[in-house]
Amino acid sequence: MKYSLQFTAILLIALISCQQKGELQFFDKIIGEWQLFDQPVIEKWEYTDGMYQSQVLVISDTDTTVSEEIRILEKDGEYFYETTVLDQNEGESVLFKLIESSDKKVVFENLEHDFPQRIIYKMENENSLNASIEGKVNGKNKFIQFEYTNIK
């Protein structure tokens, strides 16, 4: 009986872990370094300490600066994109809730944020990643797209 309970507990933990990671399977595919097309900007994704994390690095001739830090968090069974952008929001992070997820696309949303209200990542193929931000500014739709190439 003791072994049966231990096995059941281990199985349950494994199933929950697989289910949670299943919703985020997109991020398994983008682990690595992605360079913004024609720009000295790299978005570096990794999976450490049980979460997906990224740093956006701006590279100049003499220095590399972290301009943004991103983490994918789980809170109360829901997933969030937490971003902290240098010199924005008084250094505070902003959360965007996962509203759509597949192995090729994720969409995060925060309708209360000024701009953007949505963050979208699409994996075109193993070497091409598109990110976009969108929302309304002064009542008008705004859309900015970022095209990345896999460099590692």
pLDDT tens readout for residues 124-152: 899 999 999 999 999 999 999 999 999 98
Q: How far apart are CA 131 and CA 63, in angstroms?
A: 25
Supply the pLDDT for residue 22. Answer: 57
Asked whether the predicted pLDDT for residue 12 surpasses 70, the reply is: no
Judge residue 146's burial from the number of C-beta atoms within 10 Å of its C-beta, 0-12 exposed, 13-18 middle, 19 or more buried: middle
In angstroms, what CA-CA distances link 85 with 33, 68, 89? 19, 4, 8
Q: Using an 8 Å Cβ cutoff, are 57 and 66 in contact?
A: yes
Asked whether the predicted pLDDT for residue 123 surpasses 60, the reply is: yes
2-150: CATH, from 2.40.128, 1.10.286, 3.40.50, 2.30.30: 2.40.128
In angstroms, what CA-CA distances link 127 with 47, 97, 101, 145, 151? 19, 26, 20, 17, 8
Query: What is the average per-residue pLDDT within 2-31?
Result: 55
Domains of the chain, by residue range, sit at 2-150
Query: What is the average per-residue pLDDT within 12-30?
Result: 61
**pLDDT tens figures, 61-115:** 889 999 999 999 999 989 999 999 988 888 889 999 999 999 999 999 999 999 9
Asked whether the predicted pLDDT for residue 23 surpasses 50, the reply is: yes
Supply the pLDDT for residue 69. Answer: 96
Supply the pLDDT for residue 9. Answer: 38
From the centroid of its chain, how far is CA 143? Answer: 18
**pLDDT tens figures, 53-73:** 999 999 998 899 999 999 999
How high is the mean pLDDT of the chain?
A: 86
Supply the pLDDT for residue 1. Answer: 45
